[in-house]
Amino acid sequence: NAGVMQNPRHLVRRRGQEARLRCSPMKGHSHVYWYRQLPEEGLKFMVYLQKENIIDESGMPKERFSAEFPKEGPSILRIQQVVRGDSAAYFCASSQGHGYTFGSGTRLTVV
Amino acid sequence: GESVGLHLPTLSVQEGDNSIINCAYSNSASDYFIWYKQESGKGPQFIIDIRSNMDKRQGQRVTVLLNKTVKHLSLQIAATQPGDSAVYFCAEDPRTGNQFYFGTGTSLTVIP
């Protein structure tokens, strides 16, 4: 069981470009959560997805951010037209009931 | 909104001493709590959990205490080791949504 896999581990984008972050949940897990972590801060909820459905996107900015979890393949967090303030670590977690298992995160740097 | 707060942002302890990390939560309806450990450059790692029908739970070298009266949670680490140096987060499930709420974290440094 490889755990929650996120890639890339590090991503550098210029302002205005698009960032695509991928997350493969643990085998057997159908619930995926995305969190953002700014330096020296806690994790802030962004979105909760199940296969082909967005269940709760209350923590996701209304513009430029989108997420999907298709029937086949990983969950994708997409940030369009990135700005410097998007620089953060983005963590994915998966669950099949109570408690999460986190991936190692993608560290996005916008230059 | 919900808040999960940490009393101390940083904690330094001597190797071999016991560590206590505290956490306050605001939602009395929360019925499930988890402590996570996050090492530098890594994702949060589950340490121990506790449900609201318990006031104490023990793991290997770790104990979580829950005081529902004052909405306080603590993590005790026995015989702290250098490998315990990390940021520790408490998280609560407030049962009002689909997410856990995380505190800012306490950075634990173990002095050899």
pLDDT per residue as tens digits for the range B31-88:
899 999 999 889 999 999 999 999 999 999 999 999 999 999 999 999 999 999 999 9
Report CB contact under 8 Å: A99, B45. no
pLDDT of B98: 67
Average confidence (pLDDT) over A27-47: 89
CA distance A55 to B112: 46
* CA B8 to the chain's CA centroid: 12
The residue among A86, A106, A50 whose CA lies nearest residue B43 is: A106
**Cβ of A53 under 8 Å from any chain B Cβ?**
no
Find chain A residues with C-beta within 8 A of B99's C-beta: 33, 45, 48, 56, 59
pLDDT of B12: 95
Find chain A residues with C-beta within 8 A of B98's C-beta: 33, 48, 55-56
Q: Distance from B81 to chain A by nearest Cα, in Å?
A: 23
- pLDDT, tens digit, 9 for 90 and up, residues B14-33: 999 999 999 998 888 888 99
The residue among A25, A36, A47 whose CA lies nearest residue A96 is: A25
